Chains A and B, each alone.
Chain A
């Protein structure tokens, strides 16, 4: 299995632009998680889905952030408009439903907003 796939791996954009991060979970995994990691705040859960349905989005910073999971093999995290303070590494992880099962993390997307 290829593991969790994220794209792009690096993104540099200007303040005010829309950013879309993509994630393909491991096949057969029904839970998907989006995290953000910064030096100041560490690793924070933004949102997670079970069976494509958002379960907890309390970690989403504000309305500029939105996440979708249109099917079991694809999810997006969108930031519109982006701000410099959104600069971070964004990780996607997946796990089998139920559990507690270990989460498998993707390589992350390093976002820089100038």
Chain B
């Protein structure tokens, strides 16, 4: 199974860029990488998805190296409201890891 590994927690300050890396060594050819955000007492919410190289939307960027064994979610200039748990998901396997708890301080 394509299990993902992420740091358990990260701290940052408002205005900084945050990069969260996810390892997925057993990713298959047809797998996509998807990132979700979850606030307390809410369901996860889609952030971004990619297959290779770089994907950018209005919220974040996703960097995927050529071997696709890892991916990095980049959040530019975080704010307090970005405090949440971030999950990396290898799409076809539907396995959420433990997630990364991001705490943003003023």
- A positions within 8 Å CB-CB of B: 4, 33, 35, 42-45, 48, 91, 93, 99-100, 102-108
Contacts and interface: CB of A to CB of B under 8 A. Distances in A.
Contacts of B96: 35, 42-45
Contacts, number: 42
B49 A100 contact: yes
B76 to A, nearest CB: 21
B86 interface: no
A48 B34 contact: no
Contacts of A35: 96
15 contacts: A4-B43, A33-B94, A42-B99, A43-B96, A44-B96, A45-B94, A45-B96, A48-B94, A99-B91, A100-B49, A102-B34, A105-B43, A105-B44, A107-B42, A108-B42
A105 B87 CA distance: 14
Q: Looking at chain A's contact residues, is the secondary structure mostly helix, strand, loop, or mixed?
A: strand
**In the complex, which range does the number of interface residues on chain B fall in?**
10 to 19
Interface of B: 32, 34, 41-46, 49, 87, 91-92, 94-99
Which are the 10 A-B pairs with shortest beta-carbon distances? A105-B43, A102-B46, A100-B91, A43-B96, A100-B32, A45-B94, A91-B43, A42-B98, A105-B44, A108-B43
A80 to B, nearest CB: 25
A100 B28 CA distance: 13
Contact of B97 (A42, A102, A103): A42
B34 A107 contact: no
Contacts of B94: 33, 45, 48
Contacts of A33: 94
Contacts of A108: 41-43
A105 B34 CA distance: 14
Q: Which of A33, A44, A100, A103 has the most CB of B within 10 A?
A: A100
